[in-house]
Amino acid sequence: MQALRNGEQIRKRWLMWDEVLIAVLATLTTAGFVMMGSASMDYAAESTGDPFFHINRQAIYILISIMVMRLVMQVPIRIWEHGAPVLLMLAVALLVLVLVPGVGREVKGAQRWIGFGVANLQPSELMKVAFVVFVAAYMKRRQLELRTRWTGMIKPLVVLAVVVALLLAEPDFGASVVIAGTTMGMLFVGGARLIQFLVFAGFGGVLAALMVLLSPYRMQRLVTYLDPWADQFNSGYQLTQALIAFGRGEWIGEGLGNSVQKLFYLPEAHTDFVFAIIGEELGLMGCLLFLSLFAALIARILGIAALASQSERRFQSYLCTGAALLIASQVFINVGVNSGLLPTKGLTLPLLSYGGSSLIGTFALLGMVLRVEFELRVPEGTDIKAWRLRHV
């Protein structure tokens, strides 16, 4: 009887949280772990002598991410709202720190990581989460100004400009685009006037175009994107190999583990181009399945945002909207790059690509979303302890 009561208590404790969101998250993480492992084993065996090197590390990253999410889920949303400026300043400090010689680690010409022994922290991943929280808090405080005055939109964009400047100094153009796009989307959803949105979006587009034109390697990527087969063994190599992977996969794929492109033909197969390996091993059907899972995840987050909006909890609604936009933009860009829809740009696929910083950041953000959904079911006025979960 005691065992049955304990089992019932455990079941009720898990039912505190949104089952749909957790189920989709668990499915994507598990499936992503399998595909990342398949894409990395040969590379790991050649580079480290251990075919399970990346698999073991990714398993550790997943466990850490779950613990981080669990911790975040225990913190009331009001604490994140009030602590948004502090979180942003911490993220900015890390972006500055990564540029300090001897502190930041340079990999393949980009200084984006801070080393901690055998592990690296990528501050841009923390900045993605921090900026979503910051903008959501700002929009709640300055909603009237955002909807009626130009300054309401200019203020967060000034902060965004500082963040983008730090990211481009690394350089990390992909993170800059994701954060800028998410911010613009949040401000528009929050009530910014269409004319304001169009003016600043156009200005941002012009700046992005200038950065491409003034940067030889970015310009080369754009030329390669337009015709990758013109230089398929040099600047177009990565994209053409990804397209070959999709072509080999056809409808149902070559079978799990049977990719040829991961055998040192396609660079970054277990990170930026894991979706191409999915296309080769699982085919079009596998790609559509993964995209459907991402769509379900994003739809559920937006559903929670709508519920928060109906309950007049504006910060919670904006936070969930920002989380959905952030994940959706990263999926769109990564899949677009893999399939040749967009110019080649290093950006991980959330929950699927190898790497701890991205995984931890995504889990932390989803932990906030889960907390929002939990608090929506708590009767108004109920006291929720910061560090102790209560079943309602």
| 288-315 mean pLDDT | 95
Alpha helices, H only, the chain: 2-14, 19-48, 53-73, 77-82, 84-97, 123-141, 143-148, 151-168, 173-189, 194-213, 216-226, 237-249, 274-310, 314-339, 356-376
In this prediction, residue 206 carries a pLDDT of: 82
Return the amino acid letter for 133: V
| 53-71 mean pLDDT | 94
317 CB-near residues (< 8 Å, 6+ apart): 305, 306, 308, 309
Residues 200 and 154 in one domain: yes
Residues 60 and 156 in one domain: no
Residues 112 and 187 in one domain: yes
What is the extent of the structural domain holding 116? 91-214
Residues 192 and 249 in one domain: no
pLDDT at 210 over 80: no
Give per-residue pLDDT as tens, 322-346: 999 999 999 999 999 898 888 777 7
Residues 210 and 134 in one domain: yes
**What are the residues facing 120 on neighbouring strands?**
115
Residues 197 and 280 in one domain: no
CA distance 172 to 168: 5
* Residue recorded with tokens 């091993």: 281
Phi-psi region of 4 (alpha: psi -120 to 50; beta: other; left: phi over 0): alpha
Q: Crossing angle for the helix pair 19-48 and 53-73, nearest 10 degrees?
A: 150
Q: How far is CA 142 from the centre of its chain?
A: 26
377 CB-near residues (< 8 Å, 6+ apart): 392
| 85-92 mean pLDDT | 94
Residue 208: Cβ within 10 Å count: 16
CA distance 12 to 242: 45
| 137-154 mean pLDDT | 88
Identify whether 365 is part of a domain: yes
Q: Which of 163, 185, 214 is the last residue of a domain?
A: 214
Sheet strand arrangement including 110-116: 104-107, 110-116, 119-121
Q: In total, how many domains does the chain have?
A: 2
Identify whether 96 is part of a domain: yes
In this prediction, residue 217 carries a pLDDT of: 62
| 281-291 mean pLDDT | 95
Residues 251 and 204 in one domain: no
Residue 303: Cβ within 10 Å count: 16
Residues 336 and 311 in one domain: yes
CA distance 30 to 287: 15
In this prediction, residue 333 carries a pLDDT of: 92
- Considering the entire predicted model, what is its pTM? 0.88
How far does the chain reach from its first CA to its final CA, in angstroms? Answer: 24
Weakest-pLDDT range from 17-26, 82-91, 203-212, 229-238: 229-238
Identify whether 24 is part of a domain: no
Residue 90: Cβ within 10 Å count: 15
CA distance 221 to 239: 10
Task: Return the half-sphere exposure (C-beta side, CA atoms, 13 A cut-off) of residue 247.
Answer: 8
User: CA torsion, points 301, 307, 313, 319, in degrees to nearest 10?
Assistant: 10
Residues 70 and 182 in one domain: no
Identify whether 392 is part of a domain: no
